[in-house]
C-alpha cells in the first residue's frame, strides 16, 4: 500500500495568515504522460465527515473558497490556505487514489493562534 | 440535494457482527459506486471496500477480506456493510461515501459526499 505522511501534525496560525500543510507519498502518485497527480485533500470539522476540498492535486471542488489551493507532483504535495479564517479550524487529510487501496495521511490539525 | 443517511450507533461484544445501513437520496442511486471508509483514533481513515450500486459487485480491502460483506437494495436506494468477528480494534466511526465521477481513469477514487457516520463500539 502507498503510505501517505503529512507534516506537521498540528499547526497554529493567526487569522488572516497563511497555513501550509505538506503531504508526502511513499511512491510517486503522478502519471507524467498525462500530467495527472492522483492526490486529494479533505477537511474534517469535529463531529462531521470529511469534506472534499481538492482533487487532481490542484482542482478545487465546487463551492470551495479560492483561499484553498493545492500544488505538487510526484511524491510531494502541499495544501495552502492563503488567509486563514475562523471557519477553517479543522483537521486536513491528504489521500492518494493512484492505487487501490486508496490511502489517507494521518491528518494535520489547524488551529487559530 | 445529495444525502447519505446512515443508521444509528451500535454497541457490540467481541466476536459479534454489526450491520450498518446507508440510504441515498437526491441522485440516481444506480449511477454511482458507494464505498465504506472507517475512522479510528489509531489507524485514521481506512478504506474498506466498494459496491457497485447497480450490479451489486463488490471489492474489499485486503485488511477486511473474509470479515466484511457489502450489499445493496436498489428498491430503497440503500447499501449495507456487515462486519463480522468484531474485536475491540474495530471500534470506529464507519462512513459510507459516494465515488466522485472523474474525468480521467484512476485505479482509486475520491469521495464527494459522505454519510454522517455510524459509531460502532466493540466492548465486553
| pLDDT 10s digits, B5-55 | 999 999 999 999 999 999 999 999 999 999 999 999 888 999 999 999 999
All three cell numbers of B13, joined, read 461484544
Q: pLDDT category, B103, cuts 50, 70, 90?
A: confident
What pLDDT is attached to residue B23?
98
Query: Which chain B residues are closer than 8 Å to A103 by Cβ?
Result: 47
Query: Which chain A residues are closer than 8 Å to B45 by Cβ?
Result: 50, 93, 95, 104
Cβ contact (<8 Å) for A100 and B110? no
Query: Which chain B residues are closer than 8 Å to A99 by Cβ?
Result: 107-108
d(CA B109, CA B112): 10
Model confidence at B104: pLDDT above 80: no
Tell me whether A96 touches chain B (CB under 8 Å).
yes
CA distances from A63 to A54, A55, A66, B112 (A): 11, 13, 9, 12
Cβ contact (<8 Å) for A97 and B115? no
Cβ contact (<8 Å) for A55 and B100? yes
Phi, psi angle pair for A101, to nearest 5°: -75, 140
DSSP class of residue B119? E
| pLDDT 10s digits, A22-75 | 999 999 999 877 789 999 999 999 999 999 999 999 999 999 999 999 999 999
Cβ contact (<8 Å) for B108 and A101? yes
Cβ contact (<8 Å) for A97 and B107? yes
What pLDDT is attached to residue A32?
76
Amino acid at each position: 500500500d502507498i503510505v501517505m505522511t503529512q507534516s506537521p501534525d498540528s499547526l497554529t496560525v493567526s487569522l488572516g495568515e497563511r497555513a501550509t500543510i505538506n503531504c508526502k507519498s511513499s511512491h510517486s502518485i503522478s502519471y507524467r504522460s498525462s500530467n495527472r497527480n492522483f492526490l486529494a485533500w479533505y477537511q474534517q470539522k469535529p463531529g462531521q465527515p470529511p469534506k472534499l476540498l481538492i482533487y487532481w492535486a490542484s482542482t478545487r471542488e465546487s463551492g470551495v473558497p479560492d483561499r484553498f489551493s493545492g500544488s505538487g507532483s510526484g511524491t510531494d504535495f502541499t495544501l495552502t490556505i492563503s488567509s486563514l479564517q475562523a471557519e477553517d479550524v479543522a483537521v486536513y487529510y491528504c489521500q492518494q487514489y493512484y492505487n487501490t487501496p486508496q490511502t489517507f495521511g494521518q491528518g494535520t490539525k489547524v488551529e487559530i493562534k | 440535494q445529495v444525502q447519505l443517511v446512515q443508521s444509528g450507533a451500535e454497541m457490540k461484544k467481541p466476536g459479534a457482527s454489526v450491520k450498518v445501513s446507508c440510504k441515498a437520496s437526491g441522485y440516481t442511486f444506480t449511477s454511482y459506486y458507494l464505498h465504506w471508509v472507517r475512522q479510528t483514533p489509531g489507524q485514521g481513515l481506512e478504506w474498506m471496500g466498494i459496491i457497485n450500486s447497480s450490479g451489486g459487485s463488490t471489492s474489499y480491502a485486503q485488511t477486511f477480506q473474509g470479515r466484511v460483506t457489502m450489499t445493496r437494495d436498489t428498491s430503497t436506494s440503500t447499501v449495507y456493510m456487515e462486519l463480522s468477528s468484531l474485536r475491540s480494534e474495530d471500534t470506529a466511526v464507519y462512513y459510507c461515501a459516494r465515488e466522485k465521477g472523474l474525468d480521467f481513469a484512476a485505479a482509486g477514487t475520491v469521495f464527494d459526499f459522505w454519510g454522517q457516520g455510524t459509531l460502532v463500539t466493540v466492548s465486553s
